[in-house]
Chains A and B, each alone.
Chain A
Amino acid sequence: MSGLPGRVDFRRNTQCVAPQMACAVQQATTRFLALRDTAVSEFGADRWQELRQVGHDLRLHAIENLDGYLELLEDQVTRAGGQVHWAPTAACARQIVLDIARRHQVKRVVKVKSMATEEIGLALALESAGLSVFETDLGEYIVQLAGEAPSHITGPALHMTKEDIAELFRSKLGASAPADAQLLTRIAADRLRGEFLAADMGISGGNFLVPDTGTLVLVTNEGNGRMCTTLPRVFVAVVGIDKVIPDWESLAVMLTLLPRNATGQKMTAYVSFITGLKPVEGTEGPAEFHLILLDNGRSQMLRDKTLRETLLCIRCGACLNVCPVYNTVGGHAYGWCYSGPIGAILSPQLLGLHAAGDLPFASTLCGACNDICPVKVPITDILLEMRQRVLHEPTARQERSKSTLRAAARVAALVFGSPRLYRWSAEALCLLQAPFRRGGWLHRLPPPLNRWTMARPLPAFRTDFFRWWRARGTGRSQQRLLRASLLVAAAGLVIAAVSSRIHRSKRQGT
């Protein structure tokens, strides 16, 4: 669904989040987390920690020796009867798929949910080339019908209620059914069975690539991954080059970590091990298996030792579930297919800081994502590193805000430097606030101060200010001094907060 976004404006995106979004998202993520906790405690918390460390080590080893593993993978997949393609960019990957489709005169395509294909906007590209594309994962099918983007890595439609979905099916499929998950699932499955039987081409992503045997591992629950490798004539897998793991022993570790951490399952309903995918007999099985190895900026991410650990991610989606920011704003605010903490570090690296420089700031740095990550991606370290890079990236906007800040500091120094000027301005502020004041608060202020009041109200300046000011001479000199310094400090804090707010909003804002 999602194509490449222009610039991700996280702040603006959060302002159009529907109120029911947070509620639906929190319901789902709470359930995901409860299931995960049960699965992990059943496995044994200590054993789990040990396994996470192994998971981290083996993923890092694979990433650091990517060149050797990729060569081996290509050899083995080719030997097993598959065809390997290399896609340096998203455009290349789309073109390769289109070429394969053209060669086989493909008209109908069935697609399994995959982050890689979302990343390259494959469905859109195929549709604009005149092909019919059907998402076959139930959640993806629903968001495709609704014309929306997925909002979670493992649960694309978790932001929608069953009533929304029943209404959607009524309007788009003409199927009227009560808002019942089982019935709605049945309707979608019956529709999609027909599409599977009629499809010429199946497209999936991949969870792991095992180079020593050239095996693609596909983890699904619904069975659509298996359908794609069983029914259509051609099967295409678009997989990031980072999905490589060292060997089959490592695969056992990853298959222990992934389902438990993602959905709290000991194992997903289906795990397909695709080695070459030779047609089995008569009509069964695709005649051709194409593996497209997608780079699209991943190899550049290898350059930095801290940042390359982003590539360890196995897309379990658990960091989304624990993230307080994700739980409040949902997935769409992140502006692209990758949301939550992983989106905050992955999107800026894949899209560039100019496009997604907002995202590393969309975090409270609470570190819950670090603790839940099955392969110990140091997300907060990477977030901090990304923030530094955003700040050091010279942009015209930043230059402008620097000069604004300098001017504001000068004015503040002038006002605080002269008692008379200070008193006058304090009095002026009390008068100026009158039109905006509601009770003890200023709820709305004119631009640019509205950047502050958009998020929260500002306390009004003291009502008894004049009285306090006049009475200031009656106290003892020490008390007077203390009071005065307190006031100066408070005013300084307010001005500093407002100006830093202006500075940040100017840098990130419109």
Chain B
Amino acid sequence: MSDVGKNRDADRDAVMLTVRSALGKRGAPVTPRFPQRMPTDVLANNQVGISTLLLEIVKLGGFGRRVPDTDTLHRLLAELVRCEGVKQAALWSTPELNELSLNRVLHELGVQIISPGAERCQCSTCDLGVTGVDLALAQTGTLFLRTSPERPRWISLLPRIHLAIVEERALRGSLVQALAELRGEDMVAVTGPSRTADIEMTLALGVHGPSVLHVWAIAPKCRSSPSDD
């Protein structure tokens, strides 16, 4: 082991050899398969809807709202900007989110929009991050956010407020189902605001991630009739 870390292949062979001899394996390694079926019924519970998701979010210390139409969406956004004193915001640039013209509303409210590729320091001072939700799991209040060039990781992490726009069609009945669809994606599952209980088991919200999480469940109407004003 004198030239440790230098000879990667030797290290690899050393580990594999011990593993194989310890397990009593002979011949070329085969790719194993877990034969047992998962008790999907144990993990599934399909009888829940968007209200359960919002309820879970509230239980976790976030804020959940139903948004019936585009006008309400824009009004709520304006309210949020005013109440929280939002100066800078960043948004995912997915087509689904662009369609809601939140960019324009924020711009009209005088909020500076930070581009997803901005410098780290600028990202860090951002107040509001707006993201979509790729899949959601109602029973646990979990939102799955993929990572891609239009969906940078930092938008749901660095700003102190995270606003996630979710639609009913993103809901899945079980974790097995959600993970089967998102298999192999680079992503994050967000369940409530960033939290810790490391000091005397007292819950504190907002450590490294956002301290405020808003989840707005928009009705399909928001998409079909984009605001024209």
A residues with a Cβ closer than 8 A to B are 24, 27-28, 31-32, 47, 50-51, 54, 57-58, 61-62, 64-72, 74, 85-89, 91-92, 95-96, 98-99, 136-139, 142, 155-158, 161-162, 165, 181-182, 184-186, 188-189, 192-193, 196-197, 212-215, 221-224, 226-227, 229-231, 241, 246-253, 255-256, 263, 265-278, 280-285, 293, 295, 299-303
Contacts and interface: CB of A to CB of B under 8 A. Distances in A.
A215 B42 contact: no
Interface stretch (B64-72, B102-110, B117-125): B117-125
A67 B25 contact: yes
Given A226-B208, A267-B189, A181 B200 contact: yes
A182 B14 CA distance: 48
B22 interface: yes
Given A223-B157, A266-B139, A266-B140, 10 more contacts: A32-B201, A58-B36, A68-B29, A85-B5, A158-B198, A161-B200, A162-B202, A213-B183, A263-B197, A302-B19
6 contacts: A68-B30, A86-B8, A185-B199, A213-B184, A230-B153, A248-B183
Contact of B209 (A69, A161, A270, A284): A270
A67 B20 contact: yes
A295 B137 CA distance: 36
A211 to B, nearest CB: 8
A237 B104 CA distance: 41
Contacts of A138: 196, 198-199, 207
B15 A246 contact: no
A66 B23 contact: yes
Contact of A252 (B34, B174, B199): B174
B227 interface: no
Contacts of B186: 273-278
Interface string B12-42: 1011101110110100011111111011001
A87 B154 CA distance: 32
A142 B198 CA distance: 9
Contact of B208 (A58, A196, A213, A271): A196
Nearest to A284: B152
Contacts of A270: 188-191, 194, 209
A227 B208 contact: yes
Interface string B150-171: 0111100110000000000000
Contacts of B1: 88-89, 91-92
Contacts of A231: 120, 154
Interface in B170-217: 174-176, 179-180, 182-204, 206-209
Nearest to B147: A280
A160 to B, nearest CB: 8
A274 B153 CA distance: 12
B141 interface: yes
Contacts of B142: 267
A231 B122 CA distance: 12
B208 A281 contact: no
B148 A280 contact: yes
Contact of B19 (A66, A95, A222, A223): A66
For the complex, would chain B's binding face be called helix, strand, loop or mixed by DSSP majority? Answer: loop
Contacts of B140: 266-267
A183 B157 CA distance: 20
B153 A283 contact: no
A27 B119 CA distance: 44
B49 interface: no
A502 B198 CA distance: 41
Contacts of B56: 266
Contacts of B34: 58, 61-62, 246-247, 249-250
Contacts of B204: 181-182, 185-186
B192 A284 contact: no
A307 to B, nearest CB: 11
Given A157-B198, A280-B153, A223 B209 contact: yes
A227 B157 contact: yes
B5 A95 contact: yes
A191 to B, nearest CB: 11
A339 to B, nearest CB: 16
Contacts of B191: 265-271
A146 B16 CA distance: 40
Nearest to A182: B204
Contact of A226 (B8, B35, B153): B153
Nearest to B19: A299
A270 B197 CA distance: 15
Contact of A91 (B4, B22, B183): B4
A222 B194 contact: yes
Contact of A193 (B29, B182, B201, B208): B208
A262 to B, nearest CB: 12
Most buried by B among A70, A157, A249: A249
A230 B142 CA distance: 20
A27 B174 contact: no
Nearest to A223: B209
B43 interface: yes
A70 B20 CA distance: 11
Contacts of A184: 199
Contact of B194 (A87, A157, A223, A267): A223
Given A85-B8, A157-B199, A222-B194, A241 B117 contact: no
A404 B179 CA distance: 63
Contacts of B149: 280-281
A295 B18 contact: yes
B188 A162 contact: no
By Cβ-Cβ distance, the 10 closest A-B pairs, closest first, are A223-B209, A282-B117, A213-B184, A65-B32, A181-B202, A246-B34, A139-B198, A223-B208, A302-B22, A95-B5
Contact of B199 (A69, A99, A181, A278): A181
A71 B193 contact: no
Contacts of B147: 280
Contacts of A99: 5
Nearest to B42: A47
A252 B148 contact: no
B154 A284 contact: yes
Nearest to B155: A284
B209 A252 contact: no
